A and B are shown apart, each in its own frame.
Chain A
Amino acid sequence: MSGPVTENDTPVLEVTDLAVSFPSEAGTVQAVRGLSYRVGRGEVLGIAGESGSGKSVSSLAVMGLLPPQARITGSIRFQGQQLLGLSDVQLAKIRGRRVAMVFQDPLSALTPVYTVGDQIAEALLVHGKGRISRQAAANRAVELLDLVGIPHAAQRAKAFPHEFSGGMRQRAVIAMAIANDPDLIIADEPTTALDVTVQAQVLEVLKTAQEVTGAGIVIITHDLGVVAGFADRLMVMYAGRAVETGQVAEVYQQPRMPYTLGLLGSLPRLDATEKLPLVPINGQPPSLVDLPEGCPFAPRCPMAVDACLEAEPELSAVDSAGEHHAACVRTAELAATEAAAEEIEGVDASNAAAIEAAVEVFGAEVVQAQARDLAPREQRPTVLRVDELVKHYPLNKGTVFKRRVGTVHAVDGVSFEIREGETLGLVGESGCGKTTTLMEVLGLTPPSGGAIEVLGRDVSTLDKKARRAVRRDMQVVFQDPMASLDPRMPIGDVLAEPMQVHGLDAEHIRKRIPQLLDLVGLRAEHADRYPAEFSGGQRQRIGIARALALEPKLLVLDEPVSALDVSIQAGVINLLDQLKVELGLSYLFVAHDLSVVRHIADRVAVMYLGRIVEIGTVDTVFGNPLHPYTQALLSAIPLPDPVKERQRERIILSGDLPSPADPPSGCRFRTRCFLHTTLPESDRARCVGEQPERVGHGQDHEVACHFARSKQVV
């Protein structure tokens, strides 16, 4: 590599006392306050924190990509050169050549009107004027696409972004980032918008990119699992400041700041063998407009004492080596709690002790799923039965003369049932048909194939009146709490509406609203407020209260926590758990996050391309997955435990989900199956020719694979 020779101890990036503020109508927003960190050559620094913690803003400040109204002070040195105060033209020479960035949303990160190849070549041409010809840049772009794992790179380079899937677009963005062999790559939530299997692929590509370029990497994420396996060091941010930094393994095993501890405890664990309590962190992150004096986490911290409210603690070393820093006045007490937990758990390499300490500090409890005396599953009534459900969408062409040119097999023979008091988790990648299944169930109209039976009533026999009555017993909670409440309706009206529709009398409704608010942990006086006054977590609670207004027997939950920050998510999951026990509800829980499903569900159904490939109790499916797809899915999920995470062998699925308009013959998963490729010729023919049916493997466990076999994946 050319350029000035740097001393080995000169960090690639050194940020000192960085502060970023924005003017807003409410006052000055202090997005980043006194942030200092350094990234060494080839080092991977993870920055973790919830939305609004300042993690993205601080990285955009490094790139000089903040909007002009941002006020930035402090120092940002890149290989010894001060970046702050450079003009746009000077910065443009560094951006993309020596510092590159990968953004969160690959769907919008590429300009829709230029081909992918042109956009990658542009990164080369803009920095290599006169030194690289157009043709050479185009050829190099193809090489780069090949490097990041795009098949048929030469052809695909001529495609436009809309012809690429999300995962492929993120690969293209990474190709762009590594085009000029940068010394630093900043990746801002690079996998958040992607499915887990694709996330695993993209993380793998990022690792390759680092090996090829030897660059330092800053990876920003809210997912403590992603950093556990990838980063060398971790910095946790809260309210615009670093609250804890250190080597990854150490921070996960001995967190010395209650916030980090809470974050770790709030994650549902895929590797849990028994149901562990989820730690909810009460309250909301503080407003960054007028921060109170003292530790910004103090109002949410179970360990807060008077000293915490007096002054904001500085980041100070908590170990003898001076590598682990935390900003907390009570680190010593935390260490003691952990030591005690370690005695119970036993000292091992995992971070079980830290989780145990979190549970203790935050006083979390396992919500007892079996508090009610439930009869054995077989004796309980069935609340929802879906039998060989089929939903096909026609693909039409032409406006005047419509003609059918194909069929999208969105759902193709899905069967499951939910018994009273039971939660079924329906999981799979986007496009697998889980939402279609849910919409068919909610629609209460005769399906195009198969049968749906709600509370013992076949929906195809329902007339208008009966359908309305059934609706009362089946309610829904939507994914996006921001969009699912009418912003012009006070909460009281939102809750009253379903009851009015079903003709309940006014007196009953008036009494019911405070009850409902109380049920979901809100206060009765909230009824007069508008949705805009609530945070995401609170709005989702309102959504749940609305669903409960009619005292339904079955709740259909469509990704109810995926839009929420982890610390908030834990509280909502606990609430759902508790409501199920108290009200005897049954849930159909649709999610892509398998950890959440493992925590909340009793049974789980894994969907792939419109079919259920594996179904059974959570413990059997997660403990002993038999279908290769389930195995791959589970293996793709990063564990928030650096030691375990680094020891795991990961199954990386190749490619994307095939189009449901043209599903593969025989077993639909065979095109991406790692098992299929290892089979002898005769067995492979069976995968191609014969669609596997669901076959029982022991108690309540069915797998649709001709060659199902055990594999350790978690």
Chain B
Amino acid sequence: MLGFLIRRLLNYLVLCVVATFLSFTLSSIAFDPLSLLRQHNPPPPAATIEAKRVQLHLDQPIPQRFLTWGEGVLRGDFGQTTTDHAITEELGRRAGVSLRLFLLGVTVGILLGVLVGVASAVRQYKFTDYAATFFSYVVLATPVFVLGPLVKQVAQSINTATGSEWLQFTGEGPNDLSQLGWLEGFGERLRYLIVPTVTIALIQIAYYSRYQRSAMLDVLGSDFLRTAQAKGLTRRRAFFKHGLRTALIPMATLFAFGFGLVIVGGVFTESIFNWQGMGQWLIQGINDQDTNITATVTLFVAVCVLVSGWLSDVLYALLDPRIRV
């Protein structure tokens, strides 16, 4: 079991390197960081441009540049931006911002999604099921840049109705909470988190509830559920103890994909709510023609996706004794 997980982890490390290399290569070929410099008026002297070129290692072949950058990454140095800022400094803050948003949204989404899916399967073709199905399809069919503003609108109405400004939907809130107490700090974070989290969670609920519903329906028709009832378990108890537990197994696989999708789609979510997270950074990196930022964000996304993949392997092994070999 442990060996299996370690082997998986090693496979994932290789994948991380490959993903980052591809992204690094692609952006190195496409970007021309010196163009900004050249557009300066008056044009800088050729020596300045040449110095910048050497500073950005543009005189070296791409694999060489990747190795140099990768070596830095191993030492915890992600390099400089084209505007001479240390990426490492900003990475921590931005990663914190993004993870805070996504982890909460995804966790809430999965838990509620599973519940909605189960309710929908148990009450198949009844009102609950139809309502859940309708909700899911509407949410899945709505692009996030429409859904986000809609949620904002609802939050605005709530604020108006209660006559307060408690719900915030622009930015991630103050960076420095050191002068606030523990509880106030938590409350302050929450004010800014609620609205974007609801947006992400809604999509996650819609997504997971569909799968959970069909997994649960499969299980509801199964023989072992009938055996459990024949033993003397009530219908409800058999559903939850034998049915839900088994129907959760396929969800473990989805978890990896689902989380990956959220991170990738995070670019939109962060822009809508004006969060200074990784997604927004990626856009900035592309605008600045900055290979190091792009590669760093790619590495971050790859690590997140692969960690969630690894987590779903762990979950899978916990849920299903058949693969614990």
Contact = CB atoms under 8 A, between A and B. Distances in A.
Interface of A: 63, 65, 88-89, 92-97, 100-101, 103, 105, 108-115, 122-123, 126-127, 160, 162, 173, 176-177, 180, 400
B89 interface: no
Contact of B224 (A65, A110, A127): A110
Contact of B322 (A108, A127, A162): A162
A113 B231 contact: no
B229 to A, nearest CB: 6
A105 B223 contact: yes
Interface of B: 11, 222-236, 242, 245-246, 249, 319-322
Given A110-B224, A111-B224, A123 B231 contact: yes
23 contacts: A88-B236, A92-B229, A92-B233, A93-B232, A95-B230, A100-B230, A101-B230, A103-B223, A103-B226, A103-B230, A105-B223, A108-B222, A110-B227, A111-B242, A111-B246, A113-B249, A113-B320, A113-B321, A122-B231, A123-B231, A160-B322, A176-B227, A400-B11
A62 to B, nearest CB: 11
Contacts of A101: 227, 230
Given A105-B223, A108-B222, A162-B322, A113 B230 contact: no
Contacts of A114: 242
A111 B229 contact: no
B234 A113 contact: no
Contacts of B229: 63, 65, 92, 95
Nearest to A90: B234
A92 B227 contact: no
B11 to A, nearest CB: 8
Contacts of A115: 321
Contacts of A112: 224, 246, 320-322
Contacts of B249: 113
A88 B238 CA distance: 12
A180 B228 CA distance: 14
Given A110-B224, A112-B321, A96 B246 contact: no
Contact of A88 (B227, B228, B231, B234): B234
B234 A92 contact: yes
Q: Which residue, A115, A126, A127, has most C-beta atoms of chain B within 10 A?
A: A126
Nearest to A159: B321
Interface core residue of B222, B230, B236 (most chain A CB under 10 Å): B230
A685 to B, nearest CB: 37
The residue in A88, A111, A123, A400 that gathers the most chain B C-beta atoms within 10 A of its C-beta is: A111
A277 to B, nearest CB: 38
Given A92-B232, A97-B232, A113 B227 contact: no
A112 B236 CA distance: 19
A113 B232 contact: no
Contacts of A109: 223-224, 226-227
Given A95-B230, A126-B232, 4 more contacts: A105-B223, A113-B246, A173-B227, A177-B230
Contacts of B11: 400
B162 to A, nearest CB: 44
A123 B320 CA distance: 22
A194 to B, nearest CB: 15
Contacts of A89: 234
Nearest to B221: A67
A63 B228 CA distance: 12
Contacts of A127: 232
Contact of A176 (B226, B231, B235, B319): B231
A113 B230 CA distance: 18
A466 B212 CA distance: 52
B234 to A, nearest CB: 4
Given A105-B223, A108-B224, A111-B246, A160 B234 contact: no
A123 B235 contact: no
A346 B232 CA distance: 52
A95 B223 contact: no
Contacts of B227: 101, 103, 109-111, 173, 176
Given A88-B234, A108-B223, A113 B319 contact: yes
Contacts of B233: 92, 96, 122, 126
A180 B231 CA distance: 9
Nearest to A68: B235
A353 to B, nearest CB: 41
A90 to B, nearest CB: 10
Question: Top 7 A-B pairs ranked by shortest CB distance?
Answer: A96-B232, A96-B231, A108-B223, A101-B230, A123-B231, A111-B224, A92-B234
A122 B225 CA distance: 13
Contacts of A110: 224, 227
Nearest to A67: B221
